[in-house]
Amino acid sequence: MSAGTKKLRNCIRNTDWFLMLSCAVAAAYGIVLVYSAAVTAERGAREYLVQILAVAIGLIAAFCISLIDYEVLGQFWPVLGGVTIILMLLTLTPLGVRIPGAEEMAWINIPGINVTFQPSELAKVVFVLTFAVHLTKVRESLNHISTLALVVLHGMIPIALCVIQRENGTALVLGGMMICMMVLAGLKLVYLLFGMSAVLVCVPFVWPMISEDKQARFLCLLPGMAEKYPAAIYQQDIALKAIGSGRLWGRGFLQGGGDGLLFARNNDFVFSISGEEFGFAGAVLLLVILAVIILALLRNVMRARDLTGMLICGGVMSMICVQTFLNIGMNLSVLPVVGITLPFFSSGGSSSGTLMLAVGLAMSVFRSSRVNRMESIFLKKY
């Protein structure tokens, strides 16, 4: 067997095919839902063609990134973090654009090719890597006040930029990722409880600063308050009715969204398509696929060769968990609308492509841990 053939064989054998194929299945289901949303709304082919292209490029990129040791990627964390911050700041310049119907100023226009890019999606992936490296460097002194303050400052920089862009959903996801990764790194429970208490204390002071329409998104979910805020609950009410209309097996593919009243059916409310067109069975299938991906990432957390690898996989897992929780919660009218996509299923080239990059990081951890285990077994044997 030639050296090249042996190298290729090891490359294939050490790839986390279970995670990659699970993500591919989720993305394929998502393309079906995005296609349905585009066809029933008569929006043309561009939307789902972009989705297909983003998923294809993302899967290839994920495989390529998995071939690079995450520790090597971690050495460039200052460059990656700096470039991401610059890209997010560009949204506040004339290069920044607002997608029709969205209130966030979170996209930049790429001149010459008529394509927009959402830097905050890339920020989530870069944050996983940079924060994992930072936490690993300070693991011994994490619970010292001075060290913890710098760690929190690291996490608050992208969160603050998202708030400035009005990307409140992404800010919540980054906050959830930050907490999860800090806990995995050994943060003491007392600091976590103190932080949660501080947030609760700040709520009465922050609440008056929130615009009335966003306050209504919270208030309309309280018992007996829906009739008082009909505009705020309108989208969620339609989404919930669409999900319920699917019953057990659904109304059928391309048979949903006939009234055309549900805005963002292709991204924020894509879960309603699975329930409406494929019924309870289709919605459960979607949740099962996401659960399988989360469990695959949890396996990688437990098998990682070091703390950095564990934090990377934990960061990617928490990103998917928090986004899924927020998105489905607002589809079921139990959480307010915060403008967050459903991982792997919602339309959006930036979100789909960059999510695959995060999967690639987790696959890199799997590859490194697998090679490390095989080397250990070989050394014990011989």
Domain range list for the chain: 15-381
- Cα dihedral value 141, 146, 148, 151, nearest 10: -110
- Cα(151)–Cα(192) distance, integer angstroms: 13
Give the pLDDT confidence of 219-247 residue by residue, as tens digits: 888 888 878 888 888 888 888 888 888 88
Concatenated DSSP letters for 64-83?
HHHTS-HHHHHTTHHHHHHH
Structure tokens at 282: 């289709």
Concatenated DSSP letters for 165-194?
TT-HHHHHHHHHHHHHHHHHTT--HHHHHH
- In Å, what is the CA distance from 53 to each residue of 27, 112, 296? 11, 19, 25
**The pTM is what?**
0.91
β-bridge partners, 109: 116
- pLDDT for the residue numbered 299: 94
- Cα(164)–Cα(323) distance, integer angstroms: 20
- In Å, what is the CA distance from 285 to each residue of 5, 279, 297, 303, 379? 39, 10, 19, 27, 43
- Cα(81)–Cα(276) distance, integer angstroms: 41
Whether 137 shows a pLDDT value over 60: the answer reads yes
Mean pLDDT on 363-380: 65
Contact 70, 364 (CB under 8 A): yes
Give the pLDDT confidence of 265-314 residue by residue, as tens digits: 778 888 999 999 999 999 999 999 999 999 999 999 999 989 999 999 99
- Cα(312)–Cα(125) distance, integer angstroms: 9
- pLDDT for the residue numbered 2: 65
Give the pLDDT confidence of 105-123 residue by residue, as tens digits: 677 777 666 667 788 888 9
